[in-house]
């Protein structure tokens, strides 16, 4: 499950980066938020990579912590859209956020059963 989460986070980060490039020089607020969101999904991927290493070392508490962190990064992205009046949270991003959170929930449940 961790590998699937990493694929989701990486794919979403790349998607957000491509959306930023498509905007060109227009709409600086949207570009800023998309760029920051891409970074958050990169951090989610990093946290999931760390959890994979934790699992290999049988450090289940740390694995749980890293998976929980990965699950929180999409919420940070969602909240950034709320800070800017007029920015609409894209439905595609909402779908991806939900997917990553669900994947992390399953992974967290598995890790908790290992401990």
What pLDDT band is residue 61 in, cutting at 50, 70 and 90? very high
DSSP per-residue codes, 51-114: HHHHHHTT-HHHHHHHHHHHHHHHHHHHHHHHHSTT----HHHHHHHHHHHHHHHHHHHHHHHH
pTM: 0.88
What pLDDT band is residue 25 in, cutting at 50, 70 and 90? low
- Which structural domain, as residue segments, surrounds residue 16? 2-114
pLDDT at 24: 64
Query: pLDDT, tens digit, for every residue of 67-113?
Result: 999 999 999 999 999 998 888 898 999 999 999 999 999 999 999 99
Q: How many structural domains are present in the chain?
A: 1
Query: pLDDT, tens digit, for every residue of 28-43?
Result: 888 889 999 999 999 9
């Amino acid at each position: 499950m961790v590998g699937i989460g990493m694929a989701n986070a990486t794919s979403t980060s790349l998607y957000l980066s491509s959306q930023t490039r498509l905007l060109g020089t227009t709409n600086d607020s949207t570009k800023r938020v998309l760029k920051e969101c891409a970074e958050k999904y990169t951090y989610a991927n990093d946290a999931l990579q760390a959890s994979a290493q934790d699992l290999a070392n049988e450090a289940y508490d740390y694995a749980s912590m890293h998976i929980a962190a990965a699950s929180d990064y999409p919420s940070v992205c969602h909240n950034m859209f709320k800070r800017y009046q007029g920015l609409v949270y894209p439905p595609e991003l909402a779908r991806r956020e939900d997917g990553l959170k669900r994947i992390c929930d399953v992974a967290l449940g598995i890790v908790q059963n290992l401990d």
